[in-house]
Structure 1
Amino acid sequence: MSKISLPELKKQLKTYKPEELVSIIVDCYKSSEDVKKYIHMMLDPEHTENQLFEAAEKKILIQFYPDRGEPKLKFADARKAISEFSKLTNNQVRTIELMIYYVELGVQMTNDYGDMYESFYNSMVSMYQSAVQKIATDDSGALHRMFREKLIFIMQRAGNVGWGFQEGLADAYYTYVGGFDDED
């Protein structure tokens, strides 16, 4: 199957009758869970966004604190939930909320179970850094004001564990959004 360019696709779709386009969309809807989510987002954005947010939160939570058994710690699954939510909703604030939630659960886990392994901490610091980088793009400082307390609380709670975890979080915070503190 050869790839068709976007302009070619648009040109081709313009030749179809409305009922044929509806049929194509329905077939796509039936064939792909991602298309289904996208269409729901287009038709009922607020309700769908809330559902997607709750589903992403649950996917993240299960990696750290499953209903049964030991934690899975499949960080790729948790990160994928955040990424999918971001792509489907394009809601930066709620995406940052999910990113911070991921790190909060990681810090909670280290406080509950003790020291973890280095790649665990690297994953937490990486997500925290991604969150503060997104926050730093808001020149008004509104995002920083919204998340400042949580970000600082996470740093404080990470002080009881090893591997330079707290230092990594603090470095990310002060590198990207620490300047906003001077303005408050």
Structure 2
Amino acid sequence: MSKAKLKKYMSALSKEQVVDIMFQLYDASKEANAWLEFYMEPNSDAELEKYKKAIRNQFFGRNDWPKDPSFRECNKLITSFKKLVPAPHAIADLMLYYVEQGCSLTAQFGDYDNPFYTALENNFNKAVKFISSNGLMPEYSPRMKKMIKSVECCGYGFPDTLWDIYYEYAED
């Protein structure tokens, strides 16, 4: 159904019918439930922490023991968070946090395989591009530099690629 068709249909309903549909939607879908709750009481900080915890759990298990992360799941979490329409700085924070967790994992527990680094590089590129396009480079630049320096001991040219991505967008 197109948005135009939905708008036409919803416009013909009474207020009570629209409210009833909203309650049904709220009960029918976890995603709709989360979106409506965030819409009614937008608390970016609380939601951000919830999503950060979920991402961290992809990289570290109990007692901070390393895990083989699901990059697909992390990307789904980022997408779900974006759908809530939080402030750009909250999205940037989560995107960068995702890459930081991968960097922390490899810095603490040694080198991983090339696909691991490629996934992190691709997500760092997305994060830096988002940060730059939203005018947030001055705010996030020190954090990105610190993260890249933390993995300078890693292999596969990983830190070099991160520096290349960073300097493509850097303002300093």
Q: TM-score range by the shorter chain?
A: over 0.9
Equivalent residue number for residue 26 of structure 2: 29
TM value normalised by structure 1 = 0.87
Query: Separation in 2 of the partners of 1:14 and 1:94?
Result: 34
Paired residue secondary structure (1:160): coil
Paired residue secondary structure (2:156): coil
> What do you get for the CA RMSD once the two structures are aligned?
1.5
Query: Separation in 1 of the partners of 2:2 and 2:58?
Result: 39
Equivalent residue number for residue 176 of structure 1: 169
Give the counterpart of 2:119 among 119, 123, 127: 123
Query: Separation in 2 of the partners of 1:100 and 1:73?
Result: 16
Q: Deviations over 1:138-168 (max 9, x none)?
A: 4xx5x11111111111111111010010011
Deviation at 1:50, TM superposition (A): 2.8
Equivalent residue number for residue 51 of structure 2: 56
Q: Which structure's relative contact order is higher, taking Cα pairs within 8 Å and 6+ residues apart?
A: 2
Q: Does 1:154 align with 2:150?
A: no
Q: Which aligned pairs between 1:1-184 and structure 2 lie closer than 5 A?
A: 4-46=1-43, 49-67=44-62, 71-138=67-134, 141=135, 143-177=136-170, 180-181=171-172
TM value normalised by structure 2 = 0.92
In structure 2, the gaps of 5 or more residues are none
Q: Deviations over 1:77-107 (max 9, x none)?
A: 1121111111212421111111111111111
Moved more, 51-60 or 156-165: 51-60
Query: Separation in 1 of the partners of 2:104 and 2:35?
Result: 33
Paired residue secondary structure (1:159): coil
Query: Separation in 1 of the partners of 2:166 and 2:66?
Result: 31
